[in-house]
Amino acid sequence: LQVRVADAPALDVVGDPSTETTPEETIASGLTYLGTTGYVSVPPEGYVIRGVKTSEPTPETPLFSFSRVLFAGQRATVFATSLLATITGQVLADDIRPVFTEGKLRFLDAAPAGGTVDVYVLEDGTDFNSVVLTSSTPHLGFAPGIFDIVFTVADTKTVVASREDVAATAGTVQTVILVDEVRVDETSDGKPADVLVLDDL
pLDDT at 135: 36
Return averaged pLDDT per consecutive 10 residues of the chain, 201 residues in all.
Answer: 83 90 87 89 91 91 92 89 86 85 86 79 76 51 88 87 90 88 77 86 81
DSSP count for the chain of H helices, then E strands: 0, 14
DSSP state of 125: T
| pTM confidence score | 0.66
> Minimal CA–CA distance to 163: which of 124, 108, 111, 117?
124
Cα-based angle 91, 93, 98 (whole degrees, multiple of 5): 145
CA atoms within 13 A on the CB side of 15: 22
pLDDT at 175: 87
pLDDT at 89: 86
> Minimal CA–CA distance to 80: which of 53, 55, 104, 46?
53
